[in-house]
Amino acid sequence: MATPATPVRAADEGIPDSGLAGPFAVGEYAAALRSKLRSFARVQLVGELVNLRPSRARVYFELRDATGAVACAAWREDWEAIAARAGEAPAEGMQVVVAGGCDYYPGSSTSSPAFSFAVRDLRVAGEGDLLARIERLRKRLDAEGLLEQQKLLARPLLPRAIGVITGEGGKARDDILAGLRRRGWSGRLVWGFAPVQDRHAAPAIVRALGDLAAAAQVEVLIVARGGGSLADLLCFCDETLCRTVALLGVPVIASVGHHTDRTLLDDVAAVSCSTPTHAAEAAVGVDCARARVEMAAAAARLAGHGRRALQPRAQIAEAAGRVREHGRRAVLSRARLLATLSRAPAAQLDRQRSRLHQQLREIRAGSRRRIADERLLGGRRALVLERKGTSSLHDCRERRPRELAQLSLALAAHDPQRTLERGYALVQALDGKSLASAAAAGQARDLRIRFADGVLPARVTDR
Amino acid sequence: VSEPPRASPGQGAEDGQTYEAAAARVEEIIRRLDSGEASLQETLALVSEGKGLIELCAQQLTEVGDALEELRLDELVSRLEHEAGA
């Protein structure tokens, strides 16, 4: 390369004892470098298109193969002409042939310099070796059954702790928090920050996965990145990372790619989501706010069933209560009756005793009156008897003998013997019956005739 | 050799029942009760079981509904080590 024309001022002298030319002003050197690079022969390069970054004026990308890479840039109008000619815009991972030459942007005091291979033309040559390698690895993992291991794990609907691996300053972090808020989830969130791009990313992610999975409280893991080119996502096609995820006992939710670029991590993970927000919603399978409402409704329905089921029992209990009340009243009534009855003998005895005492008093009083009366009556009777005795004695002594004599005389006057003695006779039948008429005597025929001095038999012979 | 799966993700240590299993059983119980085919004894048993499961679900929902706790991995490890040491 030719040296710049003018050396720097004496004040900016070079390194002592250095044999090299200069120092030269860097701007001049950069301009000389650009001239030199532009002088290189224009050639065609073949490689895999990665890290495609369109900008307003130019399209930047890299061309890679197994041994090296070159930064490339194309003017926007050239790129659009290439796409129009090919029928589609060249995409990540494509094997392409580019035509052009070296160029160098010298930069300035406010902008960085950059080398690029200035692409003037491009032809799509095939799918690309990088994608082919990824596809071969995918088939190998599939053949080993590693694409299904994570999908066999049970994912909790409601994890209490979630582990997240993402870049510390990335937008994915905010998206995950937003997704969890939408689920109404406020559990424990453990961040395992790790680089999610470049060659250091995969080993760091593997370490973070192992550490988070070892924490027994973490029930689900999210690996998230906020999108990027295929080159940015290459770390998520790392074989060690994919095998680690496949063999983890904790379900992993991947959210590192997008609809067009699917990484191997998306294939081995339990779930693959297009955005970190969706990954958060996949990690919490239930809308917590709605679940709380549904649980309250379920509790109310259960309570309703319980009340309806217990209604007959309540009715029975109510009836039993009424029966018990009736029983209680009956017992109370009986108790009162028994109490009354238990008190009754005493009262009855009292009444009887009083009555007996009264009767006794009455009897005593009666007796006294009776005795007095009897005594009075006895006195009177005694007096009467005395008088009667006196009279009887008089009778016995005087009047009775006289009366007896008179009676004796009267009796003697009526004695039939005395009649017989006066010459009368008494006609009797043989049986002693007096016959007071001739007819009776004639009918009896055999007679007895009684005289005062004896009896003669007689017979009626002629009537 | 793959890492053995956890006993049951979301499993409550004290009850051994996951939220999803409990919620599914509650739905099953309510379907059975709504059918009107359960006897009195079965109804009472199902209501009792359902209430217990709902309490379990509500408890787990409460655990993830109080306040978001953000930890870095190294903080969690330190906490677990501290708890293990205590």
Question: In this structure, how many other beta carbons lie within 10 angstroms of the beta carbon of residue A392?
Answer: 13
Which residue carries 């294939």 as its tokens? Answer: A267
User: What mean pLDDT is predicted for residues A263-281?
Assistant: 91
| pLDDT computed for residue B86 by the predictor | 67
pLDDT tier, A259 (very low <50, low <70, confident <90, very high otherwise): low
For chain B, give the number of residues: 86
Mean pLDDT over A39-54 rounds to 91
Contacts of A329 (CB under 8 A, 6+ apart): none
Closest chain A residue to the Cα of B17, Cα to Cα: A156
- Tokens in use for A384? 């009467």
- Among the partner residues A211, A284, A309, nearest to B40 by beta-carbon distance: A309
Which chain B residue lies closest to A288 (C-alpha atoms)? B61
Look at the block and give the residue holding tokens 């990540």.
Answer: A92
Are the C-beta atoms of A445 and A459 separated by less than 8 Å?
yes
Distance from the B42 Cα atom to the nearest Cα atom in chain A, whole angstroms:
10
Query: Given an 8 Å threshold on Cβ–Cβ distance, is A298 in contact with B76?
Result: no
Give pLDDT, residue A16.
85
Higher pLDDT, A437 or A258: A437
Whether the CB-CB separation of A282 and A253 falls below 8 Å is answered with: yes
Residues of B with CB under 8 A from a CB of A: 1-6, 8-10, 18-20, 23, 26-27, 29-30, 33-34, 40, 43-44, 46-47, 50-51, 54, 57-58, 60-61, 63-73, 76-77, 80
Peptide bond into A23 cis (omega under 30): yes
Minimum-distance CB partner of B47 among A191, A192, A309:
A309
Handedness of CA A297, A301, A302, A307 (dihedral sign): positive
Report the C-alpha gap between A68 and A200 in whole angstroms. Answer: 18
String of DSSP letters for A59-125: EEEEEE-SS-EEEEEEEHHHHHHHHHHHSS---TT-EEEEEEEEEEE---SSS--EEEEEEEEEEEE
Q: What is the DSSP string of A367-379?
A: HHHHHHHHHHHHH
Å from B85 to nearest chain A CA? Answer: 16
Q: Identify the pLDDT of residue A409.
A: 80
Chain A residues inside the 8 Å CB shell of B10: 156-160, 219
Cβ neighbour number for residue A380 with a 10 Å cutoff? 10
Give me the residue from A158, A249, A302 closest to B10, CB to CB: A158
- The residues near A182 (Cβ < 8 Å, ≥ 6 apart) are A277, A280, A281
Chain A residues within 8 A of B84 when measuring between CB atoms: none
Q: Please state which of the ranges A15-29, A170-184, A225-239 shows the lowest mean pLDDT.
A: A225-239
Q: Chain B partners of A292 at a C-beta cutoff of 8 Å?
A: 58, 61, 65
Per-residue confidence band for A31, with pLDDT thresholds at 50, 70 and 90: very high
Quote the pLDDT of residue A418: 79
**pTM here?**
0.52
